[in-house]
Amino acid sequence: MRFLRLVNILSIDVALGAAALAIVLARLWNIQLPLTVPPMLAMIVWVIYTFDHIKDARDTKMPGLSSRRNFHRTYYRPLVLVSILMLIISGVLLFTLPLRLVLFGSALSCLVMAYYFSLYFLKTGISVKEVSIALLYTAGIVIGPLACGTPPDGFLIHIIQLFLLAFNNLILFSWFDRDVDVKEGFTGIIQRVGQINSRRLLLALPAFQIFLAGSLLISGFFPVFEMIWMLMAAILIFPALSPVYWEAGSRYRIVGDALFFLPLAALLFSSL
């Protein structure tokens, strides 16, 4: 469990999960991804998340409350060095990508920089941080498959489902971290809508996703994928129902981020 917690604190699971989902979507849409896309995506996602955690760790008003921010505050120098190395490797891999993907990636990079500029310098968008991160995370995953081929009809449904799950995950994390976030000077949707309404949202979001995936499953729309998506959404309900158990050892984070590997597991054992 300690190893899994360290992997989670370092956002390694988030980065690998993004790469795994890009592979799954490409397979689902019958698109051939260049071999360098998944590792490059994983490195870029890791750098973005690490930068975000380092910035939060240095901005906190009460150091020591969050183990994640405390870790990034303590080891920020080696983390910065590793981030620079990741960016250098990504820059080299850039020359292996199709021009269209490079252009798409450049546009997304501009959006990421604009987001962080507004967040940390203009101090806007803080209350909708979860929405922004979910959108950028979703865009980062789908940009490879979209740039490398033509997706099938109905592909937008998959993108919406991915966004909803990512947003659900972020809301779940923020709900569990709400007290620490307030003490350390961070706010988000949870503080904006209140604890009671946010818990209702945590129950309504996965319920809607289960309904959507179930409806698509019945209609025969990528049935194996929708079965997996129903399972992923269902798992996200449990932390909100029994928060004491899931808060211990940050189980909610470990399971929440590990969810994104389920579609890849399905890919390995069946044909999506």
Q: What is the pTM of this model?
A: 0.89
User: Residues 35-60: what's their mean pLDDT?
Assistant: 88
- Among 17-26, 140-149, 150-159, 262-271, the minimum mean pLDDT is found in 262-271
What letter represents residue 13's amino acid?
Answer: D
What was the pLDDT predicted at 271?
A: 53
Helical ranges in 177-261 per DSSP H: 178-184, 189-193, 195-218, 223-235, 237-241, 243-247, 251-258
Query: What's the CA gap between 138 and 12, in Å, rounded?
Result: 17
Is residue 53's pLDDT more than 90? no
Q: Report residue 216 CA to chain centroid gap.
A: 23
- Which tens digit of pLDDT belongs to each residue from 105-138? 999 999 888 887 877 666 555 557 888 889 999 9
- Which tens digit of pLDDT belongs to each residue from 95-106? 999 999 999 999
Residue 220 or residue 183, greater confidence = 220
Q: Which residues 6+ apart lie within 8 Å of 151 measured at CB?
A: 29, 31, 145
What was the pLDDT predicted at 269?
A: 67
- Of the chain, the percentage scoring pLDDT greater than 70 comes to 92
Q: At 9, is the pLDDT very low, low, confident or very high (cuts 50, 70, 90)? A: confident
Please give the tally of structural domains in the chain.
1
Q: Which structural domain range is residue 85 located in?
A: 2-269
Range 241-244 contact pairs with CB under 8 angstroms and sequence separation of 24 or more: 241/203, 243/176
- Which tens digit of pLDDT belongs to each residue from 231-252? 999 999 999 888 889 888 788 8
Question: CB atoms < 10 A from the CB of 3, how many?
Answer: 7
